[in-house]
Structure 1
Amino acid sequence: MMVPRTTINSTTDYSAINKKVDSKASAADQQQDRFLKLLVKQLQSQDPMNPMDNAATTSQMAQISSVTGIEKLNATMQSMMASFASAQSFQAAALIGKEVLTQGNQMKFDGTKPIDARVDLPAGVSNIKVTITDKNGAVVDKLTLPQQSGGAAGVVWDGKLEGDRLAAAGDYFISATGLKDGKEIALNTLTWQTASSVELAKTGVNIMLGSQKTVAFSDVKQIR
């Protein structure tokens, strides 16, 4: 039995996780230092008969403190985001070799076991029709789902053709339609695919499926 090969491609910069603290003062720290020096100079040079307004001085000090706090908060958030991305990548790597349920239309039939999928149903949809086609686009089966409220409707295809013959093993495709407000609309379908590798992209963690389709880690609805 062949063991699935784990593949992780990374384009994400995780240097922020172990980055050394820069001892050089930040722009906000330098600005605060200049402000305090000017404030002390003003206090030393003020007219005793016409002193500086306490409220104005307090307001200026509060503003400069806010700027410093925001800069430090941004640095902390960047470090936390890098740590989160690293943890998420390890979670995604555990999916390699497993089946994940994501939006798609491709299904793999082994020639014996029934295969299942899902259909996303908006509220108010009726007359739900499901069509199964082969890789050449030929229709091999049609199903009608019972009326139900919005949500994910389960679909099971046993692979049987006319005369109780089983379809050949291979890739098949599912599509679905329904009636809403008297008009026929296409419905989104979800199918099971094997996760073959993980990609650490700048936009987040992606999963490469056996069908060569790439989906975001956050788009995985179920794992088995």
Structure 2
Amino acid sequence: MASGISGLASTATTTATSTGSGKTSQEIAGNFTQFLTLLTTQLKNQNPLDPMDTNQFTQQLVQFAQVEQQLKGNDRLDSILTNSKSASAASSTAYLGQTVTADGKTAQLKDGEATWSLKPARAVSKATITISDAKGNVVGTQTKSLAAGAQSFTWDGRNSAGLASAEGQYSIVVNAVDATGQSVSVDTGVSGKVDGVDLSGSEPVLTIGKSRLPVSSVRSIGGALST
């Protein structure tokens, strides 16, 4: 009887540690109830002439307490997670209607404009900016100098032949060098007005047109960057 109770308690504790799902909580609760039933039945059916060893009984009570604590711990963690998600969802709605800048290389071409934020590590004498469509095809390139610090770059949607490109998603790659010919890293980002918030995932996602930006990628909130 003792080994059965010990095994049951061990299984319940292991299951509780491995996952915090609702199904698991039900399984643990079931094992917890069975544990209590087995323990009380064992006490009722002891041989008065050969009672349970005190140390063995104490060990089973400790296991009983561990299972109970694990159950309460899971409930508290679920409560904390729920509250955290609610707080995150509430705060993310404050982005609606705001102009934000977030890390990223893909922007939406709409009404003949697609805008990215560029932030070179230092002044750039020559930056080759390559723009590609959603299939990876290069549609245009530009060469210009860049000042140090954050600034915006707007593409007018014209391809290398001077024709207007179709609206949709376009990505940017910047290869830059300074006056000495040394390579300069350029951080790229996407700017735009938030028109929606997706709360279905583990992290809120902001939508700007067809672009989707995790809240964690947002680097600034406010007006557009100066050119």
TM-score in terms of structure 2 length: 0.56
Question: What is the RMSD computed on CA atoms of the aligned residues?
Answer: 4.2
How many residues are aligned here?
A: 171
Determine helix, strand or coil for the equivalent of 2:139.
Answer: coil
Structure 2: stretches of 5+ with no match in the other structure: 1-27, 156-166, 223-227
**What per-residue deviation string (whole Å, max 9, x for no partner) do you get for residues 121-166 of structure 1?**
6xxx9979644467983334422566xxxxxx5245599xxxxxxx
Q: Could you say which structure has the higher helix fraction?
A: 2
Change (3 A) 1:214 1:109: closer
Q: Whose RCO is larger (CA < 8 A, sep 6+)?
A: 1
**What per-residue deviation string (whole Å, max 9, x for no partner) do you get for residues 179-204 of structure 1?**
8xxx9798651232211101111333
Counterpart of 1:199, as a letter, is D
2:213 equivalent among 184, 195, 215? 215
1:204 aligns with 203
Matches within 5 A, 1:1-224: 26-41=29-44, 44-47=46-49, 51-105=51-105, 106=107, 117-119=117-119, 130-132=127-129, 137-144=139-146, 154-156=150-152, 174-177=172-175, 188-210=187-209, 212-224=210-222
Give, in whole Å, the separation in 2 of the partners of 1:178 and 1:41. Answer: 82
Give, in whole Å, the separation in 2 of the partners of 1:215 and 1:157. Answer: 19
Structure 1: stretches of 5+ with no match in the other structure: 1-24, 147-152, 160-169
2:196–2:208 Cα contact (<8 Å) kept: yes
Determine helix, strand or coil for the equivalent of 2:95.
Answer: coil
Identity of aligned residues (%): 21
2:120–2:150 Cα contact (<8 Å) kept: no
Distance apart, 1:219 and its partner CA: 2.2
Determine helix, strand or coil for the equivalent of 1:221.
Answer: strand
TM-score in terms of structure 1 length: 0.57
Give, in whole Å, the separation in 2 of the partners of 1:108 and 1:220. Answer: 20
**What per-residue deviation string (whole Å, max 9, x for no partner) do you get for residues 19-71 of structure 1?**
xxxxxx932441342143034236x42535xx533332222211122122212
